[in-house]
Structure formats: structure tokens, C-alpha cells
Amino acid sequence: MIFGASLVRRMMMMVWTVLFTSLMSLISGESLRGETRQSSNYYSTGTLYSSHRAMDGDRSTCAHTMKLLNSWWRIDLLGVYDISSITFSYSGHPHVDMTDGRIHVGNSRKNNGTANPLNENYMSLHSFDSGVSGRYITITVPGTRFLILCEVNITGTVKGNRLMMKKPTKQCWKCLFIRLPHGQPPVLLVRLPKYKYIAS
């Protein structure tokens, strides 16, 4: 197949632009979602303050436990992720007391996720430079008190994802793959044909 040089350049630019924007979430991290649970549900004036309210995108609605011993909130990310940051919003709620609140991240649900490694105490923003990964994230407060979270934002990437460029072969020239975790075969993201072109 023969194309003019300027057309080939435009085609290549379009391919790489689309590829770049598609991969930004894999490279820099994406906002993660999952299935949430908490130790108890506070109920007042016809409203159940269940765990999912902490991840509904609305800072005016809050997840709220009852005032019990060692209250916790947990999310199952439904996969193992490298966690880069967790941000908390309390929206000025009058009953919030997150003193000595804790974050546990790991792959175990034992003791509602609190058996996972403790990743320091938190206030409103916690960034993880490296080495923090897991499927379950559990937030706890010690003692007998409410646990109130108005919005939780978690960013991260699928653990083990790596971009890889295969060497040119007869069947594939400049093939960009993404390597998946747990021994799964790499997935082809884009194959760039080796077009011949003529000067224009």
C-alpha cells in the first residue's frame, strides 16, 4: 500500500494522539470504584446513611456509622491495584471526629480488612509514593464514635500493568502491548502497519 509522506505523518499523529489519551489513566492513575461496606448504618429522619454515599460523587451526602466501638468503612476494588492517593472529604459535618483514623490496604478481608497493613494515620489527604497495593481499603476510627465520610476519592492503577513495545517482526511492526498481572498474556493495544510511502 503506497501513501504520500504527508498523509502518513498525519495518520501516525492521529494514531498516537488517540493512543496517548487512552493510556493516560493507566500511566497517571484513575479514580477507582468498587463495592463498599461499613460496620453499621446510621438512620435518621427517613435517611439511611449507607456506605455507598461516600463514593457517590456528592460531597453533601455522607456515609455514617452508628456510634459503636471501632467503626470501619471498607471498599472492595474488585481487583488488585497500586494505590497512589486517597482523599477524604467531611463537608463540615458537625459530628466528624477522625482523630487517629487509620487506613489499611491489602488483599485480606480478615477482621473486616483491618488485618491488612496499616498505612499510617490520616486526616484528609494521603499520598502513597510506592509499595502500597491491594484489593481492599479499610478506614477505621478507634474507640466508640461515629465514622463519617462524605466523599472518598481513590486513585491508582491495576497492579503489574506495564506498557511494552515489541520488536518489529514480519507480522507486527511497532506493536504496543500492555502487560497484564498474574501471568496473563499481554493485550495488543495498537498495531502500526509498515506502510511504504513516496515523497510528496
Domain containing 94 — which CATH number? 2.60.120.260
User: Which single residue is written with the C-alpha cell 461499613?
Assistant: 38
Asked if residue 177 is part of any domain, the answer here is yes
pLDDT of residue 189: 42
Distances in Å between the alpha carbon of 94 and those of 62, 98, 148? Answer: 12, 12, 10
pLDDT at 5: 60
CA 16 – CA 1 distance, rounded (Å) = 20
Amino acid at 85: S
d(CA 180, CA 183): 7
Q: ∠101-102-105 over CA atoms, to 5°?
A: 155
Let me know whether 84 and 172 are in one domain: no
Verify that 57 and 145 share a domain, yes or no.
yes
pLDDT (tens, 9 = 90+) of the chain, 200 residues, equals 555 566 656 665 665 555 555 454 445 567 888 999 999 999 999 999 999 999 998 888 999 999 999 999 999 999 899 888 888 887 666 778 878 888 899 999 999 999 998 876 665 556 665 568 899 999 999 999 999 998 998 888 887 654 444 444 544 544 444 444 445 554 444 444 444 434 43
Q: Of 81, 68, 60, give the one whose Cα is nearest residue 38.
A: 68
Same-domain check for residues 15 and 42: no
Q: What are φ and ψ of residue 52, in 5° steps?
A: -65, -20
What is the spatial distance between Cα 120 and Cα 104, in angstroms, rounded to a whole number? 8
Looking at the fold, whether 170 and 97 belong to one and the same domain comes out as no
- The domain of 72 spans 32-158
- The cell for 83 is 494505590
**One domain, residues 165 and 183:** yes
Residues 48 and 99 in one domain: yes
Number of domains in the chain: 2
Let me know whether 176 and 113 are in one domain. Answer: no
Q: Across-strand partners of 140? A: 72, 102
Bin 12: left if φ > 0, else alpha if -120 < ψ < 50, else beta: alpha
Residues 61 and 107 in one domain: yes
193 neighbors 171 (Cβ within 8 angstroms): no
What count of other Cβ atoms lies within 10 Å of the Cβ of residue 84? 18
Considering the domain architecture, whether residues 126 and 183 belong to the same structural domain is answered as: no
Residue in the block written with cell 494514531: 15
